[in-house]
Amino acid sequence: MSQINIGIDQANRQEIAKGLYKVLADTYGLYLKTHSFHWNVTGPMFNSLHQMFEDQYLELATAVDVLAERVRALGERVPGSYSAFAAVTGIKEDNGVTDANQMIQELLEGQEVIIRNARSLYPLVNQANDEATADLLTQRIQLHEKTAWMLRSLLQR
């Protein structure tokens, strides 16, 4: 295999990839939870939440691929098993939630986990002059902040 020479030293590439993998695991965990809530939501907001959750899990499905491909571009392997993701994610699994407002609250908390973890990578990414990862993080944070705002708005009385 040829040497990776993209202007980011190996130690920084590995640390950035490790951080991105955590964001990937969180994203996958939130994807699974959102998909489950899409299937299981009930109540007076069923139609709007069913569609909103579908839009969200479809976006998350695309995001996991983008994140994984960035980790690969940095030269690291991407473990893709449930157990590998579960070992590093901060997203709590769906444990049979049936209340729509609780679903919204849990998805909001998941969005905020991803925002915080993505934001925490900026110092390392900036130090390494990794503009591609910084751009990816900016896009992810922007999307998750908007989604969190929308979910938060549903909970306000």
What digits encode the pLDDT tens for the residues 90-129?
A: 999 999 999 999 999 999 999 999 999 999 999 999 999 9
Rg (alpha carbons) of the chain, rounded to whole number: 17
Three-class DSSP category at 117: helix
pLDDT given at position 3:
87
Amino acid at residue number 1: M
DSSP classification of residue 4: P
Structural contact between residues 129 and 152, judged by C-beta atoms closer than 8 angstroms: no
36's tokens: 């489950």
- What is d(CA 14, CA 25) in angstroms, rounded to the nearest whole number? 16
**For the segment 93-103, what is each residue's pLDDT rounded down to a tens digit?**
999 999 999 99
pLDDT given at position 42:
95
pLDDT given at position 157:
74
In the chain, which residues have pLDDT < 70? 1
Structural contact between residues 118 and 23, judged by C-beta atoms closer than 8 angstroms: yes
pTM here is: 0.95
